[in-house]
Chains A and B, each alone.
Chain A
Amino acid sequence: KAGVTQTPRYLIKTRGQQVTLSCSPISGHRSVSWYQQTPGQGLQFLFEYFSETQRNKGNFPGRFSGRQFSNSRSEMNVSTLELGDSALYLCASSLNTGVGYGYTFGSGTRLTVV
């Protein structure tokens, strides 16, 4: 059974640019959550999607957005990149949207903003 797949693995962007990250969940998983991981802030919740609907949102500016497609694949977009957006972006998929059933994380996308 394939795990959670995130692409690309590494990305270098310039300040002001925008970026799109992709996440393919485990087959059958309908919930996809996104987290930002930095050394100083730990794992910060960005948003969660279930059946193409955003169910939860964290405390991030509107530059961070996402969507989910009918096949449960999800994308997140960051516009007008800032140096502080450099981080590991992790997505996690789950069978159920409630009570965090068995989140499985992908390997992440390492974003560097220069």
Chain B
Amino acid sequence: GENVEQHPSTLSVQEGDSAVIKCTYSDSASNYFPWYKQELGKRPQLIIDIRSNVGEKKDQRIAVTLNKTAKHFSLHITETQPEDSAVYFCAEGDSWGKLQFGAGTQVVVTP
């Protein structure tokens, strides 16, 4: 997405290690930041999201942090497992309902 930068583009981690993906955005009006996971040949699926009035959100092994001042947000996956291997997309949205996506991060978890 032209308004969302996502890094890194590929990420290889050993099983059990943590993975971190970072995104930056430019639109001050953005107030919704979801993360999607897309396995090969499948549809993107929402895994976690955060709204601008919250700084951090956790759901089991995944967490998202948001720094509105710096306009960046991150996805953290702890204790990675082979089934975490997928492409992860960050996105940012505003009150008008349009989501802009990052270019995606290919995560490979090696046993």
* Partner-B contacts on A (CB < 8 A): 31, 33, 35, 41-45, 48, 50, 55-56, 58-59, 90, 92, 94, 96-100, 102-108
The number of chain B residues with a CB under 8 A from chain A is 27
Asked if A100 and B43 sit within 8 Å, CB to CB, the answer is no
How far, in Å, is A29 (CB) from chain B's closest CB?
A: 12
Q: Which residues of B contact A35 (CB under 8 A)?
A: 101
> Which one of B51, B93, B94, B97 has the greatest number of beta carbons of chain A within 10 Å?
B97
Cβ 8 A contact of A56, one of B51, B96, B104: B96
* Partner-A contacts on B (CB < 8 A): 1-2, 31-32, 34, 36, 42-46, 49, 51, 89, 91, 93-104
Interface SS, A side: strand
Asked if A103 and B46 sit within 8 Å, CB to CB, the answer is yes
Quick one: given A90-B44, A94-B97, A107-B43, are A100 and B104 in contact (CB under 8 Å)? Answer: no
Asked if A100 and B91 sit within 8 Å, CB to CB, the answer is yes
Asked if B98 and A56 sit within 8 Å, CB to CB, the answer is yes
Asked if B43 and A99 sit within 8 Å, CB to CB, the answer is no
A31, B49: Cα distance in complex, Å: 18
